[in-house]
Amino acid sequence: MSNGPKTKKYSGDFYRSFLRLGREDRRSVALRILRNQRVLGDLYDHFLIQDALREPGAGVSWEDYLHPNKSAAS
């Protein structure tokens, strides 16, 4: 999906419309969205990434992660 200017405008319009709904309608829409497995997967990914970013430790490049013995031999 594109993240161009039109997409950002539509997402802002959607969010403002969502906020204008009554409490029960917002709850209903939110639950409907969260029943979508792709959306739920994205949400899980987001929280896993946030947890990982809070973990202390040294960063590892993607290349070193994929080939751990290559960098140790160098």
Q: How confident is the model at residue 72 (pLDDT cuts 50, 70, 90)?
A: low
Cα–Cα distance measured from residue 68 to residue 51, given in angstroms and rounded to the nearest whole number: 23
Quote the domain boundaries for residue 61. 5-73
Flag whether the pTM goes above 0.75.
no
Q: How many domains does the chain have?
A: 1
Cα–Cα distance measured from residue 40 to residue 48, given in angstroms and rounded to the nearest whole number: 12
Cα–Cα distance measured from residue 74 to residue 72, given in angstroms and rounded to the nearest whole number: 6
Tens of pLDDT along 4-59?
Answer: 777 778 889 999 999 999 999 999 999 999 999 999 999 999 999 999 888 888 77
